[in-house]
Structure 1
């Protein structure tokens, strides 16, 4: 294979890996914060179902990626959705992530009624801990997972573009990272904030590219109809 032909695939793969790392870490933090808001005895159940829902939704959206991308206007809508994700990421990065709680930190954190001991939970999670039920925490995670899993699949598909092999690798990688390395990634993003900023730039580029391509797709389709 010519090196000039290989270069676009390597660039796309690099973008996909960065997207997967950032979004897997963000999803883990959502799970951790929700778990920190329930009593200690119930946290393991919340974390298990939260991560299971994230993996299941990623697999589901990955299986219907081709059908999703065939819908006229979805590329444009996906780009707008990713821009909203970028805005949330920007706000989190600017606040230095004081309220972030990873799943393992949630397991070590004391109950809201506890005294010293264990890792400190984020202020938002601690404030929410009064009276949050297991069902409410799991539902909160599932709702967030639907958006974040769709974001992940659309972002990976947008970065992979016309490279189906890269798309498959990216979607498999997103599932593996969420299932096996979410805690590690969450801590890595918290410790090395620059990784989050690089991921934000890449996802913003992918979002703007999807909006550009999606707008042309919608305009061309409208012109054909008229």
Structure 2
């Protein structure tokens, strides 16, 4: 897969929401020149962990859903899953800054991330061997996902497409929530989310399975970002739900 294409596409996505190349570069330079400050370092660490964990989780889900298919169909579903995740991450990145200006969406995004956290916790604690996927040989680390494999090519492709929409939106919203006050870090985080999914998702999935603490640290970060978004989604003077009078005395 062309790495230049990934970064070019992600950069174009960021450009549409953050101004032109000069504005994007200025935001990145500003945030990373102050990366030693507690706020910027915390935001970047959160973004990095979110991108790593959700890229690995995406790969695990795709591999598990495809596991029950014949080898040629399994490989097609995995390719579809990775390409769809790339396209969707870029598409959501295109509109994330506009979405974050909608009253109530930060609050809704925080609730969505809480649901994501619950799903991740369930995946880390599978219901039992009968519910587990045998895993796809192409994806390392999906053997204990707790996800039932699809029974046909069409069912697998549909399940992967639905999962990709959800996980890509989750990833972009989580990055936006973690780095909302640091546009340069937000831009880099969106580019990283695309790059990791396209280049290193399988590698990440293998190590998340081997070192489960990585997933737990990521889970804690996502829960923190979720509660932060819920709080800001209530009290923010511009886009908080209090502006709708929902929480008025």
Name the TM-score class by shorter chain.
0.7 to 0.9
What displacement does 1:106 show?
4.5
User: Size of the alignment, in residue pairs?
Assistant: 210
Normalised by the length of structure 1, the TM-score is 0.83
* Partners of 1:43 and 1:162 in 2: CA distance: 41
| 8 Å contact kept, 1:156–1:170 | yes
> Which residue is equivalent to 1:154?
173
- Distance 1:156-1:123 versus aligned 2 partners, 3 A rule: closer
Match of 2:100, SS state, is: helix
Confirm whether residue 182 of structure 1 aligns to residue 201 of structure 2: yes
* Partners of 2:207 and 2:61 in 1: CA distance: 15
Q: State which of 66, 90, 93 in structure 2 corresponds to 1:59.
A: 90
Match of 1:37, SS state, is: coil
Q: Higher RCO, 1 or 2 (CA under 8 Å, sep at least 6)?
A: 1
> Which residue is equivalent to 2:215?
196
Query: Which whole-Å deviations, capped at 9, do the CAs of 1:157-184 have from their partners, x for residues lacking one?
Result: 0000210000000010010100000111
| 8 Å contact kept, 1:76–1:210 | yes
Confirm whether residue 88 of structure 1 aligns to residue 119 of structure 2: yes
Matches within 5 A, 1:204-223: 204-216=223-235, 217-222=240-245
Provide the alpha-carbon RMSD of the alignment: 2.9
* Partners of 1:190 and 1:96 in 2: CA distance: 17
Q: Which has the higher helix share?
A: 1
Q: State which of 183, 187, 190 in structure 2 corresponds to 1:168.
A: 187
Which runs of 5 or more residues in structure 1 are unaligned? 109-118
